[in-house]
Amino acid sequence: MSLLLFLGIQVLGATVHRGLLARCGGGWFLHVLRLPGNFLHEASHAVAFLATGYTVTGFSVSLVDPAGRGHVQPGPAWFPWTRPWIAGLVSPVAPALVGLAVLAWMHAELAPGSVSLSSLDAWVPPLARLQAAPVLWLVLAITTPIVAEASPSDVDLRIWRGPALVVGALLAGAWALGHWFWPPLGDALAVAWRTLDRATTPHLARALVVSVWGALAWVGPAWAISAIRARWATAAASTVRGRRGRR
């Protein structure tokens, strides 16, 4: 269940949330809208590099990055026994893990208590709590940028592909060994997976719900901004045609 929730949030962020932001426009305005999520994305990379034994010598967000992406530049290792493949395994997925943790915290603040995806209460935003604490509207406002930036970028995936294949092959080998030759190992892996699934599913459910809330909250503003931009573009084109006609 936890794996399906994780993939669902990633797909939602890469399609719906990024589409909503793109509908609002491009250039510096889009980078301003992306700023909360992009800062969290790059900060997650920086923390991951530091945690895996490397220094950070450069940091920028998309708003000030000439390439419009944002980046983190790792520096020399501060821990003598670290290895590049460790950072290559942890850093690319750090934005997804940190982003999901922030989304789960947002839902816990908006709707304290347990959450069940089969309950209607889980999917109805707590309007009474929003009225009592208007600052929580800001939480919903920054949800879409966070979800949109929680997915690994193409650069992250290229870096992560090699170490992930190695670790995946090792886990697959361990599973095959435990399944066919050494049952105690298979039992230990099954227990570890069930424990991880039970521990993460409630938090991922919270992240999914608040992701949906954020998308719904952005539909109206994204449509309005898109309509205003279209009207401005039409007016500007009419002005240009009028000036050319008078010449």
Tens-digit pLDDT profile for residues 78-95: 988 888 888 888 888 888
At 98, list the tokens. Answer: 């940190």
User: pLDDT band at residue 145, thresholds of 50, 70 and 90?
Assistant: confident
Distance (Å, whole) CA 44 – CA 232: 37
pLDDT at 164: 77
pLDDT at 242: 62
User: pLDDT band at residue 206, thresholds of 50, 70 and 90?
Assistant: confident
Which residues have CB under 8 Å from 148's CB, separation 6+? 13, 14, 17, 18, 20, 21, 34, 37
At 175, list the tokens. Answer: 């599973």
User: pLDDT band at residue 243, thresholds of 50, 70 and 90?
Assistant: low
Q: State yes or no: pLDDT of 121 exceeds 90.
A: no
DSSP-derived 3-state class of residue 218:
helix
Tens-digit pLDDT profile for residues 26-82: 677 777 778 888 898 899 999 999 999 999 999 988 888 877 788 888 999 998 888
pLDDT at 15: 74
Bigger pLDDT: 45 vs 179: 45
pLDDT average, residue stretch 96-105: 84
pLDDT at 112: 67
pLDDT at 49: 92
In the chain, which residue ranges form alpha helices assigned H by DSSP? 2-12, 18-23, 27-51, 84-90, 94-110, 120-123, 127-132, 136-141, 143-150, 154-180, 183-246
pLDDT average, residue stretch 119-135: 63
pLDDT at 55: 93
195: how many CB neighbours lie within 10 A of its CB?
10
At 204, list the tokens. Answer: 């991922």
Domain coordinates in residue numbering, the chain: 2-246
Angle between helices 94-110 and 27-51 (to 10 degrees): 110
Q: State yes or no: pLDDT of 124 exceeds 80.
A: no
Q: Is the pTM of this model over 0.75?
A: yes
- C-alpha 69 chain-centroid distance: 14
Q: State yes or no: pLDDT of 113 exceeds 60.
A: yes
Bigger pLDDT: 229 vs 50: 50
Distance (Å, whole) CA 76 – CA 91: 15
The number of CA neighbours under 13 Å toward the Cβ of 65 is 19
Eight-class DSSP state of 75? E
Average pLDDT in the chain: 78
pLDDT at 56: 92
Amino acid of residue 198:
R
